[in-house]
Amino acid sequence: DIQLTQSPSFLSASVGDRVTITCRASQDISGFLAWYQQKPGKAPKLLIYGASTLQSVVPLRFSGSGSGTEFTLTISSLQPEDFATYYCQQVNNYPLTFGGGTKVEIK
Amino acid sequence: QVQLVESGGDMGQPGRSLRLSCAASGFTFSRYSMHWVRQAPGKGLEWVAVISFDGSNEHYAESLKGRFTISRDNSKNTVYLQMNSLRTEDTAVYYCARDRSYYDRTGYNVWGQGTLVTVSS
């Protein structure tokens, strides 16, 4: 199975901060990576697919980059509604796998 | 609108079986692979299984092979998850999900609301 390691697992930040979350894959997954945002009690929401393509209606402050084994999700200017948990998922090979999550909290 | 609605979640003892259902609407169900994803209380997301658009192929998380079976009925626009020999560690919210693309794997832009399975003695 392909393991995904997210870092950090917890992040404390202020409104307006630039935030970067990293996802490392245990083997090459090309660009087959998705990012999700999840708020408590809700289903996850797709933010980015193909490592860098923004899903429709997702704000432009979200961006993704990377290929192979190292990927990043960046929020250019954190907004109050962005405080949530973020997950990466590799969709290159079955079994599909998720990263452990990064919880972004208010400083 | 595009919608997935799960049902069948319940509370019960270890060793029992349970079947979850996920009813789809608002899109051509028979064109899409369908997935199940679960989330234990306070934990991260765990991919469970996928079934191809026509039901001819299935894949499972390694840890669940042999106990869980995914199936679908395209005439009813419904995907199922049969869970046998349930363990306490299967306690989770179970989501069904659909990829944004019917011809490639990209990510899930459609999720159900989730159904809670609790396994406890």
Task: Give burial (CB, 10 Å; 0-12/13-18/19+) of B8.
Answer: middle
Residues of B within 8 A of A97 (CB-CB) are: 47
Quick one: tokens of A4?
Answer: 């995904």
What does the alpha-carbon distance between residue A14 and residue B39 come to, in Å, rounded to a whole number? 28
Is the CB of A36 inside 8 Å of chain B's CB atoms?
yes
Cα A3 to Cα A86, B46, B61, B64, B71, distances in angstroms: 16, 12, 12, 17, 26
Among candidates A32, A92, A97 on the partner chain, residue whose Cβ is nearest the Cβ of B47: A97
User: Does the pLDDT of residue B84 top 90, yes or no?
Assistant: yes
Of A32, A45, A98, the CB nearest to B45: A98
CB contact under 8 A, A96 and B60: no
Label residue B118 by pLDDT band (50, 70, 90): very high
Yes or no: say if B44 and A87 are a contact pair by the CB < 8 Å rule: yes
Q: What is the pLDDT of residue A40?
A: 96
Beta bridge partners of A62: A75
Residues of chain B above pLDDT 90, percent: 93
Peptide bond preceding A40: is omega within 30 degrees of 0, i.e. cis?
no
- Judged against a pLDDT cut of 90, whether residue B113 lies above it is answered with yes
**Given this model, what pLDDT does residue B102 score?**
82
Q: Which helix (H) or strand (E) holds A2?
A: none
Q: What average pLDDT score do residues B80-104 get?
A: 95
Q: Using H for helix, E for strand and C for coil, what is the string for chain B?
A: CCEEEEECCCEECCCCCEEEEEEEECCCHHHCCEEEEEECCCCCEEEEEEECCCCCCEEECHHHCCCEEEEEECCCCEEEEEECCCCHHHCEEEEEEEECCCCCCCCEEEECCCEEEEECC
- What's the pLDDT score for residue B65? 83
Residue B116's pLDDT band (boundaries 50, 70, 90)?
very high
- What pLDDT, on the 0 to 100 scale, is given for residue A96? 97
A44: distance to nearest CA of chain B, Å? 7
pLDDT tens for residues B15-31? Answer: 999 999 999 999 999 99
Q: What's the whole-number average pLDDT of chain B?
A: 96
- Low-confidence residues of chain A: pLDDT under 70: none
How many CB pairs below 8 A link A and B? 62
List of residues 6+ apart from A18 with CB closer than 8 A: A74, A75, A76, A77, A78
Tell me: pLDDT of B103 over 90.
no
Q: How many Å is the maximal CA-CA distance in chain B?
A: 43
Q: Is the CB of A46 inside 8 Å of chain B's CB atoms?
A: yes
Per residue in B21-57, pLDDT (tens digit) is 999 999 999 999 999 999 999 999 999 999 999 999 9
**CA B86-A96-A12 angle, 5° bins:** 95
Report the pLDDT value the prediction gives residue A83, as an integer from 0 to 100. 93
pLDDT in tens, B64-81: 988 999 999 999 999 999
Mean pLDDT of B94-115: 94
